[in-house]
Amino acid sequence: MRAPGLALLVVPAILGALTLAPPGAAAAGAPDPGVGVVPQGLQSDAAFAGSGTAAHVSSTVPTETAVSCYRPEVPWAANHGPNDGYSGESACPGATTGEDTGAAGPYATQAGSNPGYPASGPMLVKDHSESDIRVDPTNPQHLIGSSKWIVSAEGYNHVLGFYESFDGGRSWPVQGHIPGYEGWTDNTDPVGAFDSYGDYYELLLPYQFFYNADGSHNSSVGTSREANPAVPSEVISVSVRPHGSTTASQWVSTHNGRPDYVASYDSIGNGPDKQWITIDTNPASPHFDRVYAMWVDFHHNVPVPFVSYADALPGGAHTDWSKPQALPEPPSTPQGATYLLPHVAPDGSVYTSITNFDPAHRAFGATMFVDSSADGGASWTTDGTAESGVVAPGATYNNTTFRSGIENTFATGTVKVNGHYPLYLAYEDDSTGVDDVLLTASYDGGATWSAPVQVNDNATPADEFQPNLAAAPDGTVSVAFYDRRLACPAAGTAEAAAAGLALDGANPNYSGALPPYGAANYCVNTAIQFYGPSLNPIGQNIRLSPHSFDPQLNSPSESATGNPTFLGDYFGNTVGQSSTAQSSTAQSSTGQSGAGAVDWTSSVTTYDDGGNPANRQQQLVTSIPVP
The answer to whether residue 101 is domain-embedded is: no
Stretch 435-441: mean pLDDT, rounded?
A: 98
DSSP state of 501: G
pLDDT digit string (tens) for 275-304?
999 999 999 999 999 999 999 998 777 788
> Measured between alpha carbons, how far is 576 from 621 in angstroms, rounded to an integer?
14
pLDDT confidence bin for 9, thresholds 50/70/90: very low
- 3-state SS, 91-126, equals ECCCCCCCCCCCCCCCCHHHCCCCCCCCCCCCEECC
What is the Cα 326 distance to its own chain's centre?
Answer: 23
Average pLDDT of the residues in 124-128: 97
Whole-number Å distance between alpha carbons of 573 and 371: 22
Q: Residue 29: what pLDDT?
A: 58
Q: How many helices (H) and strands (E) does the chain have?
A: 5, 36
Q: Over 90: is that where the pLDDT of 449 sits?
A: yes
- Whether 203 is covered by a domain: the verdict is yes
Which pLDDT value is given to residue 364? Answer: 59
Amino acid at 242: P
Cβ neighbors of 560 (< 8 A, separation 6 or more) are: 5, 212, 214, 215, 216
Beta strands 408-412 and 381-391: pairing type?
Answer: unpaired
Q: With 50 as the cut, is the pLDDT of residue 20 above it?
A: no
Q: Which CATH number is 552's domain given?
A: 2.120.10.10
| Sequence-distant (≥ 6) Cβ neighbours of residue 165 within 8 angstroms | 62, 141, 142, 143, 144, 171, 172, 173
> Which candidate, 222, 181, 218, 235, places its Cα nearest to that of 72?
181
Of the given ranges (4-13, 184-193, 501-510), which has the lowest mean pLDDT? 4-13
| 205, part of any domain | yes
47 DSSP 8-state letter: H
Question: Looking at the 3D structure of the chain, how many domains does it have?
Answer: 1
Q: Which of 223-227, 456-460, 478-482 has the lowest mean pLDDT?
A: 223-227
In 3D, which of 238, 250, 254 has the Cα closest to residue 195?
238
Residue 94 lies in a domain: no
Q: What angle do CA 366, 370, 372 make, to 5 degrees?
A: 160
Q: What is the mean pLDDT of the chain?
A: 90
Task: Write down the pLDDT at residue 513.
Answer: 97
Q: H or E stretch including 468?
A: strand 464-471
- Structure confidence at residue 94 as a pLDDT band (50, 70, 90): confident
Q: Is residue 445 part of a domain?
A: yes
Residue numbers of the domain that contains 260:
45-56+63-86+127-580+596-625
In a domain, 563, yes or no: yes
Contacts of 458 (CB under 8 A, 6+ apart): 42, 43, 45, 48, 464, 483, 485, 541
Find out whether 464 and 482 touch, Cβ atoms under 8 Å: yes
Residue-wise pLDDT tens digits, 541-567: 999 999 999 999 999 998 878 889 999
Radius of gyration of the chain (CA): 22
Q: Length of the chain in residues, anyone?
A: 627
Read off the pLDDT of residues 153-172 as tens digits, 9 standing for 90 and up.
Answer: 999 999 999 999 999 999 99
Residue 521 placed within a domain: yes
Residue 422 placed within a domain: yes
- The pTM score is 0.93
pLDDT level of residue 596 (50, 70, 90 thresholds): confident
What is the full DSSP assignment across 306-326?
A: EEEEEEB-GGG-BPPPPPPEE
For 70, how many CA atoms within 13 A lie in the half-sphere containing its CB? 33
